[in-house]
Amino acid sequence: MASSAWEYAVQPAGRALRRAKPEELTEMLNRAASEGWELVQIVPQESSSTVLLVLRRPSTPRSRRESSWPGGG
Query: pLDDT digit string (tens) for 28-64?
Result: 889 999 999 999 999 988 888 788 899 999 988 766 6
- Structure confidence at residue 37 (pLDDT): 93
Burial 55-73 (b: 16+ CB within 10 A, else e): bbbeeeeebeeeeeebeee
Q: How far apart are CA 24 and CA 4, in angstroms?
A: 31
The pLDDT-based confidence of 1 (bands split at 50, 70, 90) is very low
The verdict on pTM exceeding 0.95 is no
pLDDT for residue 13: 81
Count of residues making up the chain: 73
